[in-house]
Homo-oligomer: A and B are copies of this chain.
Amino acid sequence: MLNQLRNIFGKRFTTNNTILERHGKDEAYHPVAPPDGVVFPETTEEIREIVILCSDNSIPMVPFGVGTSLEGGIGALSGGICIDFAKMKNILEINQLDMDCKVQAGVTRKELEGKLRDTGLFFPVDPGADATIGGMAATSASGTNAVRYGTMRNNVMGLTVVMANGEIIKTGGRARKSSAGYDLTRLFVGSEGTLGIISEITLKLYGNPPTISAAVCQFDNLENAVNSVIDSLLSGVPLARIELLDEVQMQACINFSKLHEFNPKPTLFFEFHGSDTEVIEQTKTIQDIMKEYGGSKFEWKNLPEERNRLWKARHNAYYASLSLKPGCLAWSSDVCVPITELANCIIESKEKLISMNLLAPLVGHVGDGNFHLLYLIDPDDANQLKKAKDHNKWMVEKAIELGGTCTGEHGIGYGKAEFLAKEAGSSIKFMKNIKNSFDPKGLLNPGKIFL
Query: Contacts of A337 on B, CB cut-off 8 Å?
Result: 174-175
B338 lies within 8 A of A184 (CB): no
With the chains together, A407 CA to B179 CA distance in Å?
6
Q: Tell which of B150, B154, B180, B206 touches A420, judged by Cβ atoms closer than 8 Å.
A: B180
> Is A173 in contact with B281, judged by CB distance below 8 angstroms?
no
User: Are B184 and A190 within 8 A (Cβ)?
Assistant: no
A347 on interface, CB distance cutoff 8 Å: no
B190–A338 contact, CB under 8 A? no
Contact between A97 and B234 (Cβ–Cβ < 8 Å)? yes
Chain B residues with CB below 8 A from A140, complex form = 178-179, 183
Contacts A167-B426, A173-B403, A434-B437; is A139 near B179 (CB within 8 Å)? yes
Residue pair A424, B181 in contact (C-beta under 8 Å): yes
Contact string, A407-426, partner B, CB cutoff 8 A, digits 1/0? 11111100010011001111
Q: For the complex, is A23 an interface residue (Cβ under 8 Å from B)?
A: no
Interface check A209, CB cutoff 8 A = yes
The 3 A-B pairs with the shortest beta carbon distances in the complex, nearest first, are A140-B179, A178-B405, A433-B437
Residues of chain A whose beta carbon lies under 8 Å from any beta carbon of chain B: 95, 97-100, 120, 139-142, 146, 150-151, 153-154, 163, 167-171, 173-184, 186-187, 189-191, 195, 206-207, 209-210, 230, 233-236, 238, 274-275, 277-278, 281, 285, 336-340, 367-370, 399, 403-412, 416, 419-420, 423-431, 433-438, 449
Contacting residue for A173 out of B367, B368, B405, CB 8 A: B405
Cβ contact of A427, chosen from B169, B175, B403, B416, cutoff 8 A: B169
B433 adjacent to A438 (CB under 8 Å)? yes
- B97–A175 contact, CB under 8 A? no
Q: How far is the CA of A408 from the CA of B174 in the complex (A)?
A: 12
By a CB distance below 8 angstroms, the chain B residues around A412 are: 179-181
A409 CB → nearest B CB, Å: 5
CA gap between A169 and B281 in the complex, in Å: 44
Given A167-B426, A177-B336, 20 new contacts (CB under 8 A):
A97-B340, A99-B233, A140-B183, A153-B186, A173-B403, A173-B423, A176-B368, A176-B369, A179-B411, A179-B412, A180-B412, A182-B187, A182-B195, A182-B449, A184-B427, A207-B236, A209-B236, A275-B285, A433-B434, A437-B437
How far, in angstroms, from A97 to B233 measured CA to CA in the complex?
A: 9
Contacts of A171 on B, CB cut-off 8 Å? 427
A181-B336 in contact given A174-B404, A437-B434 (Cβ < 8 Å): no
B407 touches A180 (CB 8 A): yes
